[in-house]
Amino acid sequence: MAHLAVMTRILRPLVVVLALLLTAQVAHAACQVEYKAKRDKPFELFYNVTTVDAPCSAAEGALRAQLARQGLTLLKIMSKKEK
């Protein structure tokens, strides 16, 4: 029983540190996105590379919102790369 208490005292801080490190990694996830977009009035086509503050799995939604604030519509994502 004493060994279990010692192991618990040793492992608990390690688990907390590991959880904090993983949370920090997820919180700072960013994705570099190469994309094509358009604006309708006046009609313009855009090609650009930008970084969105989201993991690549959620980059399309984040990019659509970012472009919409600029009056643009996403046409196609050409590539994504974790930063």
**DSSP codes, 40-69:** TTTTEEEEEEEEESS-GGGHHHHHHHHHHT
Domain segments of the chain as ranges: 2-82
Q: Which of the two residues, 14 and 49, has the higher pLDDT score?
A: 49
Q: Which helix (H) or strand (E) holds 81?
A: strand 73-82
Q: What is the pLDDT of residues 15-58, one digit of tens each?
A: 555 555 555 455 568 999 999 999 999 999 999 999 999 999 99
Cα three-residue angle 48-54-59, rounded to 5 degrees: 50
